[in-house]
């Protein structure tokens, strides 16, 4: 019997599972931090304009909004979570390297690092046309007869020779284009200019990459959560999130230092190779990741129930609108803040360190969240404070003057982001039925990180293209300032509705029953004193 109990305790090693999950999340977040924040800079290097980049990033978020929950449900339904995780790591690590095969179109100017000359538009087509139109010269005395008229070589080439060559070349070119369109795969790309060709190629690769990478995070998180739920240790699940922040911070700093040091030799390819290497290093941890395997079940409508719970609560609707707006602005900042910093002379080391400070400040918010919530009465006012903080940092971003001037706003960004997610967690617990807290939190997460981010990237791309980055940040600051005022008034007018969560009450009652014996003794002594007082009062009335 002892042997069986030892094997069972060895099988469900919660501490070991949490350590392994921490390693997995650290390596995966480190790899993501090496590449994802710097993608828009690389697209700028390729020659894509702001509106094109906005469309690419919006497509990425919309694809993740649909494919991520659907793929995680399928992986759970067919017990293929580990296969999905390992396959996602390997395929995304290889697909992303395709972006390195695309040469720069030379439309966007570089920053002039390594004493490199500024790239210009490719003059090859124009030179080829001029060479076709040029007539070989012999001597100054040579005379050409065109239409029975003699002209000397000192004069320009006759227009009628030029027109015939132009029309013949144009006709052959149009016939070739039509043939390519009808016979070749993606032949229509050849009709476009180099910039639009690059745009569609990058869009295709990013869509394929997102299909490979999107199922990973939710699938791994669900497997670990159900594993801990089976052994009644879900309270330790939140401790794994710290390793995500630390991994992202380390990846930001490391790749910033490497790219800045090796830029003259490798350019921005270090970011892609770092991502690939770290994804491959994550595979052993993913293969050993603790995942609870369950029997096949019928698909549940947890997402629709979560929508109904949010729709039936006025405070939750305000929170949903807020997370969409915050997601829009946060996506605009993440897409084009590095553009603003690059224009101020910043390099990747400035960007990496400033972004790492955001993640580190988020980890330091957890000990302060309880004190702030008590000071602000309840989490709703902390949500208002998060919106105000993001508005202030957007206004600050619009007036950057040096590479290191972004540091104060980044520290404030960590506070606003952490306050937002802490408020969302509290709101999810308030309206959730037993066991639905995680589903409602996922709903808010999708509204912010995917739906709001998609609209934010699309809008930000067109605003930057037409008005510039400074106007984008100032407009975002004004929008958030107006919404924070409206949010404060609405939260003051609308009463707070809180659903009674019996599972939390049961857990609180269990903790109370297992409390110190001194508290039980105090409760018993108080009851006995009350009983003695009542008894003595009765004797006095009888006397």
CA 346, CA 403: separation in Å to the nearest integer? 5
Specify which residues 144 forms β-bridges with.
151
- Is a pLDDT exceeding 80 seen at residue 243? yes
Asked if the model's pLDDT at residue 384 lies above 80, the reply is: yes
Q: Is the pLDDT of residue 160 over 60?
A: no
Separation between Cα atoms, residue 65 and residue 451, nearest integer Å: 7
Burial class from Cβ neighbours inside 10 Å (0-12, 13-18, 19+) for residue 269 reads middle
Residues 6+ apart with CB under 8 A from 342: 41, 44, 111
113 has a pLDDT exceeding 80:
no
φ and ψ at residue 273, rounded to 5 degrees: -70, -35
**Tokens 């709001």 identify what position?**
452
Q: Are 121 and 134 in contact (CB under 8 A)?
A: no
What 3-state class would DSSP assign to 471? helix
More confident of the two residues 463 and 534: 463
Q: What is the pTM of this model?
A: 0.77
pLDDT-based confidence at 130, cuts 50/70/90? Answer: very low
E-only strand ranges, 371-512: none
Is 38's pLDDT higher than 60?
Answer: yes
More confident call, 493 vs 153: 493
Query: Running DSSP on this structure, what letter comes out for residue 115?
Result: G
Q: State the Rg of the chain over Cα.
A: 31
Q: Tell me, what's the pLDDT at 516?
A: 47
Question: pLDDT value at position 300?
Answer: 62
Read off the pLDDT of each residue in 352-361 and give the average, rounded to a whole number: 93
Q: Which domains does the chain have, with CATH numbers?
A: 15-110+195-291 (1.20.1250.20), 300-496 (1.20.1250.20)
* 246-255, 273-282, 346-355, 501-510: least confident range: 501-510
Note the pLDDT of residue 500.
52
Give me the phi and psi of 338, to 5 degrees please: -70, -25
Non-local CB neighbours of 270 within 8 Å, separated by 6+ positions? 255, 258, 259, 262
pLDDT, residue 171, reads 43
- Give the helix/strand (H/E) hosting 195: helix 194-213
Q: What is the pLDDT of residues 188-203, one digit of tens each?
A: 666 778 888 899 999 9
Q: Name the nearest CA neighbour of 110 among 326, 264, 274.
A: 264
- 497 is written with which tokens? 């509705």
**Cβ–Cβ < 8 Å for 220, 85:** yes
pLDDT digits (tens, 9 = 90+) for 247-270: 999 999 999 999 999 988 888 899
For residue 136, give the 3-state DSSP assignment. coil
Confidence (pLDDT) at 302: 72
Distance between CA atoms of residues 422 and 362, nearest Å: 10
Task: Tokens for 418, please give them.
Answer: 């952490």
Q: What is the pLDDT of residues 51-108, one digit of tens each?
A: 999 999 999 999 999 999 999 889 888 888 999 999 999 999 999 999 999 887 654 4
Position 364 confidence tier, pLDDT thresholds 50, 70, 90: confident
Q: Of the given ranges (199-203, 438-442, 465-469), which has the lowest mean pLDDT?
A: 438-442
Calculate the average pLDDT of the chain.
78
Q: What is residue 49's predicted lDDT score, i.e. its pLDDT?
A: 93
pLDDT in tens, 480-504: 999 999 999 988 888 766 555 544 5
Share of the chain above pLDDT 70, in %: 69
Per-residue pLDDT at 441 exceeds 80 = yes
Q: How far apart are CA 107 and CA 109, in angstroms?
A: 6
- Judge contact between 26 and 422, C-beta under 8 A: no
Indicate whether 21 pLDDT > 80.
Answer: yes
Question: Which of the four pLDDT bands, split at 50, 70 and 90, describes residue 381?
Answer: confident
Pairwise CA distance, residues 329 & 476, whole Å = 6
Q: Are 387 and 335 in contact (CB under 8 A)?
A: no
Task: Indicate whether 154 pLDDT > 80.
Answer: no
pLDDT of residue 145: 38
Q: pLDDT at residue 536 above 90?
A: no
Q: What angle do CA 47, 337, 392 make, to 5 degrees?
A: 155
Q: How much is the pLDDT for 520?
A: 45
Structure confidence at residue 377 (pLDDT): 55
Nearest to 334 by CA among 15, 7, 61: 61
Task: Find the range with the poorest average confidence among 289-298, 355-364, 387-396, 520-529.
Answer: 520-529
Q: Which of 148-162, 202-216, 327-341, 359-373 has the lowest mean pLDDT?
A: 148-162
pLDDT of amino acid 362: 87
């Amino acid at each position: 019997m002892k042997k069986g109990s030892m094997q069972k305790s060895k099988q469900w090693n919660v501490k070991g599972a949490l350590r392994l999950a921490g390693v997995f999340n650290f390596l995966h977040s480190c790899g993501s931090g090496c590449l994802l924040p710097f993608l828009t800079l690389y697209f700028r290097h390729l020659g894509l304009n702001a509106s094109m980049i906005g469309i690419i990033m919006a497509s990425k978020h919309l694809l993740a909004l649909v494919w991520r929950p659907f793929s995680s449900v399928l992986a759970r339904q067919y017990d293929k979570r580990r296969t999905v995780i390992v396959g996602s790591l390997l395929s995304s690590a290889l697909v992303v390297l395709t972006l390195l095969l695309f040469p720069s179109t030379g439309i966007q100017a570089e920053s002039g690092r390594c004493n490199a000359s500024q790239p210009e538009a490719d003059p090859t087509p124009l030179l080829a046309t001029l060479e076709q139109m040029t007539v070989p010269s012999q001597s100054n005395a040579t005379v050409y007869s065109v239409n029975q008229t003699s002209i000397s070589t000192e004069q320009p080439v006759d227009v009628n020779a030029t027109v015939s060559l132009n029309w013949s070349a144009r006709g052959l070119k149009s016939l070739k284009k039509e043939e390519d369109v009808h016979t070749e795969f993606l032949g229509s790309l050849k009709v476009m200019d180099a910039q639009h060709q690059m745009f569609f190629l990058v869009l295709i690769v990013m869509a394929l990459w997102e299909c490979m990478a999107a199922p990973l995070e939710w699938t791994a998180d669900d497997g670990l959560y159900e594993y801990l739920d089976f052994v009644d240790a879900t309270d330790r699940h939140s401790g794994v999130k710290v390793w995500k922040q630390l991994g992202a911070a380390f990846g930001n700093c490391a790749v910033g230092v490497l790219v800045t040091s090796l830029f003259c030799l490798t350019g921005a390819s270090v970011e892609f190779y770092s991502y690939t290497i770290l994804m491959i290093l994550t595979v052993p941890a993913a293969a050993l990741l603790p995942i609870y395997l369950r029997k096949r079940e019928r698909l549940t409508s947890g997402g629709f129930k979560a929508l109904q719970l949010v729709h039936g609560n006025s405070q939750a609707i305000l929170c949903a609108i807020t997370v969409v707006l915050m997601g829009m602005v946060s996506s605009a900042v993440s897409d084009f803040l590095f553009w603003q910093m690059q224009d101020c002379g910043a390099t990747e080391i400035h960007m990496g360190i400033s972004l790492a400070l955001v993640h580190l400040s988020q980890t330091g918010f957890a000990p302060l969240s309880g004190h702030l919530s008590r000071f602000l009465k309840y989490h709703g006012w902390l949500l208002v404070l998060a919106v105000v903080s993001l508005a202030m940092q957007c206004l600050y971003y619009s007036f950057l003057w040096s590479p290191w001037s972004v540091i104060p706003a980044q520290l404030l960004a960590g506070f606003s982001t952490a306050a937002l997610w802490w408020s969302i967690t509290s709101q999810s617990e308030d309206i959730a039925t037993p066991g639905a807290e995680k589903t409602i939190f996922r709903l808010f997460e999708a509204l912010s990180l995917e739906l709001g981010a998609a609209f934010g990237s699309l809008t930000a791309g067109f605003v930057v293209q037409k008005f510039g980055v400074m106007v984008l940040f100032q407009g975002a600051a004004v929008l958030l300032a107006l919404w924070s005022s409206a949010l404060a008034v609405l939260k003051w007018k609308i009463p707070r509705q809180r659903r009674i969560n019996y599972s939390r009450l049961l857990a609180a009652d269990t903790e109370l029953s297992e409390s110190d014996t001194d508290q039980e003794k105090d409760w018993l002594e108080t009851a006995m004193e009350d009983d003695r007082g009542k008894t003595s009062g009765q004797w006095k009335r009888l006397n």
